[in-house]
Amino acid sequence: YDVLASDSAEIKKNLAKISQRADNFGDQIESQSAPTGSSGNKKGKSIPVLYDGSNINGIISKLSQEVHGNVHENKVVTISASSSSHCLPYQVANEDFSECWMSQNKPEQWIMFDFMNKPIILQNYLIKTHKYSSGSCHLKSWKIEGSNNAEQWKVLDEKDSDILNEEDKEAVFDCSKNDTPYRYIRLIQTGPNHRGDHMLALSRIEFFGYIVQE
């Protein structure tokens, strides 16, 4: 009995050591794989939804699938805009949206995504233009910004380009230098569109990167 009791105690002791080593190893793996912020601190557990050069279904699409519908209507992501003159801004989250959302004709119009309790580390973003021909109100000058209070904004990417001057054009842009999670992502038009006015018009926006689980 004394031998068995001694063996049992030794086995429990060894199992405890093995369990601790496994926990430490798991922490090391998570620490190495999880993106870090600019301060170097781990930003919680993250889910990668990365652009692979062909897949155009990103974070919005993933969250839409999880709730089986539009992320705004299901209160997962709040989508708002500076103004609207045609359709509603949250409709750009629908992959099958055949129309387009348009702002009013005013300078510096924007559309904003509030990811609430699922901030994202943005690495790439996709913009899809509307069905109207080149030379119409296609986006020409813009910047993508991130914020955690909707007041102070960090520019993640900035463009002045003719690449979107085409009907139903999809283009993906890189901002992979960013390693900070942001609750709010905003696209703001910084100059006239290809028609020469200030109407912001889009049919889809998609984001790629990491969803941070806080």
d(CA 214, CA 208): 18
Q: 118 — phi, psi (to 5°)?
A: -130, 65
Average pLDDT over residues 166-193: 97
Taking the CB of residue 87, how many other CB atoms lie within 10 A of it?
16
Question: For the segment 75-85, what is each residue's pLDDT rounded down to a tens digit?
Answer: 999 999 999 99
Question: For the segment 124-162, what is each residue's pLDDT rounded down to a tens digit?
Answer: 999 999 999 999 999 999 999 999 999 999 999 999 999
At residue 141, the pLDDT reads 98
Please state the length of the chain: 214
Is 192 in contact with 140 (CB distance < 8 Å)?
yes
d(CA 157, CA 126): 12
Residue 109 exposed, middle or buried by CB count within 10 Å (0-12, 13-18, 19+): buried
The pLDDT of residue 93 is above 70: yes
At residue 155, the pLDDT reads 98
The pLDDT of residue 37 is above 70: no
Q: 103 — phi, psi (to 5°)?
A: -85, 180
d(CA 203, CA 99): 6
d(CA 20, CA 45): 20
